Amino acid sequence: MKNVNFEIQGGKTLALVGESGSGKSMTALTIMGLIQSWNSYSNPQIEGEIEFTTKYGGTVRLDKLTEKEFDKIRGKDLTMIFQEPLSALNPVVTVGKQIAEVIMTHEKMRSADVSQRVIELLEAVGIPDPANRYYYFPHQFSGGQLQRIIIAMAIACDTSCLIADEPTTALDVTIQAQILELLKNLQRERKMGILLITHDFGVVSEFADYVAVMYEGQIVEYAAVKQVFTNPHHPYTRLLISSIPTLETTPGIRLPSKKDFMSEKGKPPGFRIFDPARKSVGAFEQVAVGHYVSAAFMREVYA
């Protein structure tokens, strides 16, 4: 990954968007310190700076922390929802106990208070009959309920920043909407920042405040959601947006593909087309207030 720069503000959502393999999840895992320890090798492959401000106002450099220091932040102030909730849970431990472990790791509370806190969390994320469901195992829940349980674990210690990696993958449309609405409500209540990783611009339009578009490990466009949808500058951004079916989409007519955005045919001189071969890190151009576009992966038509 190269040229990856963005910020996540408290109470706001930044959507990191791109196709599969573009580096979205790798970016999240790097922020969480789960790719490798920044200081574990004499020649680390990960370079850069990550500044994190806790709920108490203190700012730390995550890339300078030891694993022991990072463990005090990870899971408490900085948390993550993974793509597959079932794989993130221990199948032979009750969900109540697993959420309780998160709280006991970071908070000093009596066992009875921890249990009550877990029940309140399960209720907050919409799990019915939370006092009894506390003793259920992961296989006794539906996919949507498992995702809610993972969210409960992520907010158990009043997190400042939540990374949601494709939180609605493999869920039907109705459950997707419920999960996103739940995250919105929790964000409003707790003023937490959210990094939403997705490939779905439909979700972005409904949920995010800002967008960072990624291709092959580079950010190619960054702006507020409205700016990106009304005036996308990078041809890859235009490609992603055009791939969303709308009410105006003509049945039987295929949606545009990469090849359409790579073709010079019919394009006027100066028009910017998508060029995946142009892999060099491009300089960012500010095209409007808060709207930045990289020169990477595109070139102008000359004739």
pLDDT in tens, 200-217: 888 898 899 999 999 999
Do residues 42 and 186 both lie within one domain?
A: yes
Q: Does residue 10 sit within a domain?
A: no
Q: Does residue 9 sit within a domain?
A: no
Q: Does residue 162 sit within a domain?
A: yes
Q: pLDDT per residue over 63-122, tens digit each?
A: 888 888 998 899 999 999 988 777 889 999 999 999 999 999 998 888 889 999 999 999
Residue 146 identity: L
The whole model's pTM is what? 0.90
Q: Which domain holds residue 67?
A: 20-198
Do residues 265 and 170 both lie within one domain?
A: no
Number of domains in the chain: 2
Q: Does residue 209 sit within a domain?
A: no
Q: Are the CB atoms for 184 and 207 separated by under 8 Å?
A: yes
Q: Residue 44: is its pLDDT beyond 60? A: no
Q: Does residue 167 sit within a domain?
A: yes
| Residue 169: predicted pLDDT | 77
The CATH number of the domain holding residue 159 is 3.40.50.300
Closest alpha carbon to 118 in 104, 105, 93, 99 = 99
Q: Are the CB atoms for 160 and 77 separated by under 8 Å?
A: yes
In b/e form, how buried is each residue of 145-182, taking b as 16+ CB within 10 angstroms?
A: bbbbbbbbbbbbbebbbbbbbbbbbebeeebbebbbeb
| Residue 38: predicted pLDDT | 47
Do residues 151 and 50 both lie within one domain?
A: yes
Q: Does residue 15 sit within a domain?
A: no
Q: Residue 259: is its pLDDT beyond 90? A: no
Do residues 183 and 256 both lie within one domain?
A: no
Give the confidence band of 128 by pLDDT, cuts at 50, 70, 90. very high
| Residue 41: predicted pLDDT | 46
Q: Does residue 30 sit within a domain?
A: yes
Q: Does residue 2 sit within a domain?
A: no
Do residues 28 and 108 both lie within one domain?
A: yes
Do residues 153 and 58 both lie within one domain?
A: yes
Do residues 150 and 60 both lie within one domain?
A: yes
Residue in the block written with tokens 């409500």: 185
Do residues 236 and 136 both lie within one domain?
A: no
Do residues 193 and 74 both lie within one domain?
A: yes
Q: Residue 248: is its pLDDT beyond 90? A: no
Do residues 28 and 137 both lie within one domain?
A: yes
Do residues 70 and 126 both lie within one domain?
A: yes
Which among 168, 198, 228 is the end of a domain?
Answer: 198
Do residues 79 and 128 both lie within one domain?
A: yes
Q: How many residues does the chain have?
A: 303
Q: Are the CB atoms for 244 and 217 separated by under 8 Å?
A: no
Q: Residue 43: is its pLDDT beyond 60? A: no
In b/e form, how buried is each residue of 228-241, taking b as 16+ CB within 10 angstroms?
A: beeebbbbbbbbbb
Distance, in Å, from the CA atom of 266 to the CA atom of 243, rounded to the nearest integer, reads 20
